[in-house]
Amino acid sequence: MATRNHHVCYVVPPYLLTAIADSSSNEDPIRESARNALTMHKSYVGKREKRFAALTAPRGLKAAAAVHQRKSIVPDHMLQHIADCEDVDEDTRACAKRDLEHIRNVHAKYQKAQGIHGDTSDQKTFAATEEPSDTTEKTYRAVYDAKHDSNEAHLPGTVIRVEGQKASTDESVNEAYDNAGLVLSFYADIFNWKSIDNKNMHVISSVHFGTNYENAFWDPEVAQMVYGDGHNFLTNFTGCVDVIGHELTHAVTEYTSPLDYTGQSGALNEHVSDVFGIMIKQRVEDETADKADWLIGENCLMPGVKGVALRSMKAPGTAYDDPRFGKDPQPDNFKNYKTTTEDNGGVHMYSGIPNKAFYNASVAFGGYSWEKAGKIWWETMQSGQVPARCTFIQFADVTVEKAEELFGDDAAAIVRKAWTDVGVVRKSH
């Protein structure tokens, strides 16, 4: 375990888990469950910071991260399963057979170069690190059952449904599979971005992680999504497409403009995931910016909880207010930003400030959020102008610049006002 140095992002922020664990309004088993989830969160919280620190290091220092970044080809054992599966559609089977043949050719070349004949012990590692060929045009999804095992080392678990296969009898499996597809479709259709890495990286998910585990997360150690079943207060993680969009966008961020996972840059990292997660949800529900509810994780709260979601982008700080949860602590204006050592410098709490700015811009533009505001934010992340330790005002400046380039002076004024209204203002001299 000492060599594991990547990040893990969790859907449920640590301040919410802490509130559940500390509230005397909760029964002891519930508090203990929250403590367990918080312990797991804390045990991996350094992964994200280290991961993005590695990604944003000078080019010559990125060798350690390179192996993970190249893990974009589909493992041969998964392709074999897809190629042999009788209830996978013919087109997907054909693609899998083609890509499997490519991998085997790569293996053969590697073995010949290394003087290896018949020894396949290194094939799995090589397959995982070799770049995909230009002929790999299909993104493969696969959903596994973790069978309530909470040991991350045992992931992904038992394969249940793969690309092109018919629906399972397990609804969580189908939701994870279908909603991952909706996320991939959004990126492909709206931004012409192929899967997570723009190279058709496969998308793996594991459901039924742990016992009554009230969280879900993206784990780059094994490059996959992991879902708990939830328990007393939080549930339905596989059924929330915005949550899945949020988590998968953390992976997309690694391949666009990696933001250090601390302080303001970390809050922007969380913010970008919320922005694309909410746009995916609005696209699925066919909602314009002015008609949408702008709630992240609204279907994660169990009935009876005094709240509407995990976060509100329209009105940060109003998502919930329950004695068992505490009150949503997100501020909606930079005047309330305070330096803290909690949660990697408040990355989940202060994401509400830029979230409100994106909401402001989207509503001011009108129409669908991804038509103008979303495109501006996407071009910002693609620009190469977002530094690793980006501040709110630096990010705001790039969005204003991109708005002008894409849509003119009036659009730039709209975006600038959106940031000004949340207190992100460049100081005058």
Rounded to 5 degrees, what are φ and ψ at 32? -65, -40
Q: Two tokens at 228?
A: 């708990």
Residue 229 has which token pair?
Answer: 């079943």
Assign 299 a pLDDT band (cuts: 50, 70, 90).
confident
Of the listed ranges 37-51, 185-199, 231-245, the least confidently predicted one is 37-51
Q: Is the pLDDT of residue 46 over 60?
A: no
83-87, 325-329, 391-395, range with the lowest pLDDT: 83-87
Q: Band of the pLDDT at 70, cuts 50, 70, 90?
A: very low
Confidence of residue 102 (pLDDT cuts 50, 70, 90): low
Q: Which of 81-95, 254-268, 296-310 has the weakest average pLDDT?
A: 81-95
Indicate if the pLDDT at residue 113 is higher than 90: no
Q: Which of 10, 52, 19 is nearest to 330 (CA)?
A: 19
- Write out the two tokens for 118: 């018949």
pLDDT at 203: 93
Neighbours of 175 (CB within 10 A): 21
Catalytic residue numbers, as ranges: 247, 348
The tokens describing 175, both together, are 């939701």
Please, which pLDDT band fits residue 25 given cuts at 50, 70 and 90?
confident
Q: How far is CA 172 from the centre of its chain?
A: 18
Residues in the chain: 429
- Please say if the pLDDT value at position 11 is more than 80: no
CB 248 within 8 A of CB 9: no
pLDDT at 67 over 80: no
Instruction: Give yes or no for residue 61 having a pLDDT over 90.
Output: no
- Stretch 33-44: mean pLDDT: 66
Does this model's pTM top 0.85? My answer is no
Whether the predicted pLDDT of 189 surpasses 80: yes
Residue 234 has pLDDT above 60, yes or no: yes
Phi, psi at residue 229, to the nearest 5°?
-90, -10
The 3-state secondary structure of the chain, one letter per residue:
CCCCCCCCEECCCHHHHHHHHHCCCCCHHHHHHHHHHHHHHHHHHHHHHHHHHHHCCCHHHCHHHHHHHCCCCCCHHHHHHHHHCCCECHHHHHHHHHHHHHHHHHHHHHHHHHCCCCCCCCHHHHHHHCCCCCCCCCCCEEEEECCCCCCHHHCCCEEEEECCECCCCCHHHHHHHHHHHHHHHHHHHHHCCCCCCCCCCCEEEEECCCCCCCCEEEECCCCEEEECCECCCEECHHHCHHHHHHHHHHHHHHCCCCCCCCHHHHHHHHHHHHHHHHHHHHHHCCCCCCCCCCEECCCCECCCCCECCCEECCCCCCCEEECCCEECCCCCCHHHCCCCCCHHHHCCCCCHHHHHHHHHHHHHHCCCCCCCHHHHHHHHHHCCCCCCCCCHHHHHHHHHHHHHHHHCHHHHHHHHHHHHCCCCCCCCC
Gap between the terminal Cα atoms of the chain: 50
In this prediction, residues 198-218 reach a mean pLDDT of 89
